[in-house]
């Protein structure tokens, strides 16, 4: 079982994309089965076994998401973020600019799926574990 405070504490350790795999391992161990992060304002919906849910409230002022995704530009910036070259807010702004509306993490598959504003899958990545 996890609490919102535990999730916030784990997330506070993430300084760049390089920290993401450790974060995923930590919250998976807490019982998170999947979650969705919304780029527009940073709120997160988390889910666990036995219908356990938690909602992380908005983290910043709402931003506009580009209508059309720019996959190649997004992939290049995502790679830089995963290498620790950008912080989380820079990553979020980049997502919005390149048309990424949200991402979903599936702990069972250890995947991160990025979606456009229209709900189409833009990119699916495996999370290192």
How many domains does the chain divide into? 1
pTM of the predicted protein model: 0.89
Q: Say what the pLDDT of residue 113 is.
A: 98
Q: What is the DSSP letter of 51?
A: G
What's the CA gap between 58 and 33, in Å, rounded? 21
Dump the DSSP string for 8-28. Answer: HHHHHT--SGGGHHHHHHHHH
CATH number at residue 83: 3.30.1810.10
Q: Is the pLDDT of residue 17 over 80?
A: no
Cβ neighbours for 3, distance < 8 A, ≥ 6 positions apart: 54
What's the confidence (pLDDT) of residue 84? Answer: 87
Q: What pLDDT sits at residue 11?
A: 85
Residues 85-123 have pLDDT tens digits of 988 889 999 999 999 999 999 999 999 999 999 999 999
Q: List pLDDT tens digits, range 43-99.
A: 999 999 888 999 989 989 999 999 999 999 999 999 998 888 988 889 999 999 999
- Which residues form the domain of 14? 4-126
């Amino acid at each position: 079982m996890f609490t919102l405070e535990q999730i916030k504490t784990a997330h506070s350790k993430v300084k760049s994309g390089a920290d993401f795999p450790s974060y995923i391992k930590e919250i998976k161990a807490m019982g998170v089965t999947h979650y969705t992060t919304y780029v527009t304002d940073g709120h997160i919906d988390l889910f666990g076994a036995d219908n356990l849910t938690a909602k992380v409230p908005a983290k910043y002022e709402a931003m506009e998401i580009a209508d059309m995704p720019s996959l190649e530009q997004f992939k290049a910036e995502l790679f830089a973020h995963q290498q620790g070259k950008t912080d989380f807010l820079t990553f979020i702004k980049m997502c919005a600019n390149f048309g990424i509306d949200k991402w979903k993490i599936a702990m069972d598959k250890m995947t991160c799926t990025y979606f456009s504003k229209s709900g189409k899958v833009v990119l699916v990545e495996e999370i290192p574990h």
